[in-house]
Amino acid sequence: PVSSIGEQEAVKKITSLDLDAEICGLARAVKKDIDVAIDCGVDRIHTFIATSSIHMKHKLKMTPDKVIKRAVRAVSYAREFVDDVEFSCEDASRSDPEFLYEVIQLAITSGATTINIPDTVGYRLPSEIASMVEQMHHFIQNRAIISLHNHNDLGLGVANTLAGISAG
């Protein structure tokens, strides 16, 4: 909803329709984005921040510690307003696994109910996505729902999605 006034108006209209649906607002791990989504009346917040070293360095210009603090703050803040918070580790498929697990652990502890694992640049093969999902299931141990966000840059988006579904 934060992307434009038109998007905010559209989301407000959708939330006012009393649909039998859970309306989710996507928000960067930034207070303003979350505030705008909440002001639009969403039932759910999906917040995200990049966790790969290349994105942290070149896109965010943030240290891993600052990324962790921002993620925790965003999830905790969103949770003050909604019971259902999804957290995405943008570019998870290229993130250092130890760092990825640290961020995910803290997001769950802060109130995330769903953890999204994006293949942001469509970089991984189906077998790699399946392995990531299996490892994530072992790590999360039913403390949150796992979701995927696969891109089709290399033509593997559907195959990666099916591999993720097959892996759980």
> Average of pLDDT values for 38-62?
98
DSSP of 12-48: HHHHTT--SS--EEEEESSHHHHHHHHHTT-SEEEEE
pLDDT band at 147 (very low <50, low <70, confident <90, very high): very high
pTM: 0.95
> Average of pLDDT values for 39-61?
98
Per-residue b or e along 132-144, where b marks 16 or more CB atoms closer than 10 Å to that residue's CB: bbeebeebbeeeb
